[in-house]
Amino acid sequence: MITENTTSLLDLVKTPRDLRELKPENLKALAQELRQEVINAVSVTGGHLGAGLGVVELTIALHYIYKTPEDRLIWDVGHQAYPHKVLTGRRDRIKTLRQTGGLSGFTKREESEYDPFGAAHSSTSISAGLGMAVARDLKSKENHVVAVIGDGAMSAGMAYEAMNNAGASNSRLLVILNDNDMSIAPAVGAMSAYLSKLISSTSYRSLRDLAKQIASHLPKQIERTAKRAEEYARGLVTGGTLFEELGFYYVGPVDGHNLEHLLPVLQNIRNARQDKPVLLHVVTEKGRGHPFAEKSLEKYHAVQKFDLVTGTQTKAKANAPSYTEVFSRSLVKEAEYDKEIVAITAAMPSGTGIDKFAKQFPERSFDVGIAEQHAVTFAAGLATEGLKPFVAIYSTFLQRAYDQIVHDVAIQGLPVRFAIDRAGLVGADGATHAGAFDLAYLCCLPGFIVMAAADEAELMHMVATAATINDAPSAIRYPRGEGVGVEIPDRGTPLPIGKGRVLRTGSTAAILSLGSRLKDCLSAAEQLAALGFSTTVADARFAKPFDKGLITKIAQGHELLIIIEEGAVGGFSSHVLNFLAAEGLLDNGLRVRPMTLPDKFIDHASSDEQHKMAALDSASIVDVVVKALDKNELNGSVSA
């Protein structure tokens, strides 16, 4: 049994079972220690700090009241879960967050039995939780299921689809709305805490149900009056009407930092044998306890490594502007000349650079929330009226709107322009945020124009190109991070559609690169020249329509063709191979080696490490060329 006479409570809490041995009066001190532990860890690793700091007390309360891992606890958007990781046996590894071989920045099933569902994209928790609750009921089990969803995630339609389904079921499920920017609730205090405790109690629920039954037998006017009085009383807590209409029993709001309020409410909910799901509205402060909150806007999301004393973030000096910055600058420049250009993003204005566009053109900028499906069809509607929408969404998030891309944009041939940020591998954010599939899922769509920027100047030219495309949907993909350091023009120049460029001419091997791997291709060509191989390097620029003339010429003039892209199998390389086969260009002995992302998910690591894991770095290109030409393995010499 854990005693009170300990200097560090956190040292004694190896798992939630240890936590549940503490007395309730010790939990406030534990919260202080846990909050500092999270701050210390993120100062070393960088990562998503604000969300975790906001749910420290809530995390403790949930693990204290519920018997995890038997009771399932699901965190919507896993970067809320850093405190959860500390309390669930991972404290000794918390300073490996987002590092090679370390803990994921999100919840991950393979990582811990306390992570019943992996979460990195938002708004999935209620659907997953309902699935777990129904499975529990079908198996005649008794465990509880709790889903914690942030109010930002409640802007996605999927959350309401799940709530609608859950409200119509009879499965026990607790959904906690983590309202962390006061967007729904006013300030809460002792009265609302008392009312929340009251309405979550079994006695109140029984009395309320009894009153409903009695009222239903009264004349309609009296029944309506009774119902209105009950709703008015509950309105003192705030309106839960929306959630009630969806079939949930609404409780709240409760101060998410006050354990004296949280614990009895959670206990009441856990003990109740409710016949419908419960929504508990908890108000928290994102970034609570951040030591430099007043002068650090990053309290609200992610930070680099930082000094615990000064708060100064450790960030390597950029050698070139980021691709996101270049896209933003280019779009603003095009919009200065073309008043029909509008910009849309889905809750990522700063991440996509649309925030800068919005400052200059506020009436032409739209942040639709975490609603990628709506963003795409909204853009399609704008396009039907002659505007020029640019939809800036990360590759990994655009996957969520694929049906809308196909049916609302591609089939109708509408000139919606997709700016696909974070295309390719993304370092510390790992597999869940990698942009691996956009080439595969866009290049198969008839009429789509797909471009991939090899450097920051090319990105500017492609933004200018997209602005001129008025008869077809188009997309520009570009990687995370800084550019390669080329000179950037003041404004981009439109490119001829479907035309590539040759940067280096050789006679033996040809490397056809699409997008971000061009720098490594040029480096590989230099290494190959030193080994005696004459190598052509070409930049495809367009994945669709690709330059058939250029590819035909390369195929007819070289022994070997390497096709390289930072995307999954099924993208650009597959389409080129199909063309080569259909045109008979493989009949004369041309050897072709596609180099794509491997058929596996690549875990978080540095960008350079990930490219080595994927065998898309310059050394891997050299190795493929040497082996394909039947030369000696790389040993500093080439056979005669």
Q: How far apart are CA 345 and CA 352, in angstroms?
A: 8
- Choice among 108, 400, 480, 517 that is catalytic: 400
* Residue 302 β-bridge partners: 48
Chain position carrying tokens 């196909």: 406
Contact 583, 552 (CB under 8 A): yes
Q: How far apart are CA 317 and CA 330, in angstroms?
A: 22
- Choice among 57, 372, 456, 565 that is catalytic: 372
Chain position carrying tokens 């005693």: 3
| Residues in Cβ contact with 343 at an 8 Å cutoff, skipping those fewer than 6 apart | 331, 335, 354, 357, 358, 361, 364, 365, 366, 389, 390, 392
Q: What's the first-to-final CA gap in the chain, in angstroms?
A: 76
Which residue pairs from 138-143 have beta carbons closer than 8 angstroms and sit at least 24 positions apart in sequence? 143/67, 143/70, 143/71, 143/72
In 3D, which of 478, 471, 492 has the Cα closest to residue 414?
471
| Residues in Cβ contact with 357 at an 8 Å cutoff, skipping those fewer than 6 apart | 328, 331, 332, 335, 343, 364, 365
286 is catalytic: yes
Q: How far apart are CA 152 and CA 54, in angstroms?
A: 14
Half-sphere exposure of 29 (CA within 13 A, CB side): 15
In 3D, which of 147, 337, 152 has the Cα closest to residue 248?
147
DSSP string, 167-206: HTS----EEEEEE-SSSS-----HHHHHHHHHHHSHHHHH
Question: What Å distances lie between residue 17 and 89, 366, 428, 441, CA to CA?
Answer: 10, 47, 31, 46
Chain position carrying tokens 């990522």: 348
Chain position carrying tokens 């590989």: 524
> CA-based angle 41:42:44, to the nearest 5?
70
400 is catalytic: yes
- Choice among 35, 72, 286, 299 that is catalytic: 286
Phi-psi region of 138 (alpha: psi -120 to 50; beta: other; left: phi over 0): alpha
The radius of gyration of the chain from alpha carbons, rounded to an integer in Å, stands at 28
Rounded to the nearest 10 degrees, the angle between the axes of helix 456-468 and helix 323-337 is 30
- Give the DSSP letter of residue 424: B
Mode of pairing for the β-strands spanning 509-514 and 449-452: unpaired
Residues in the chain: 640
User: Would you name the residues annotated as active-site residues?
Assistant: 286, 372, 400
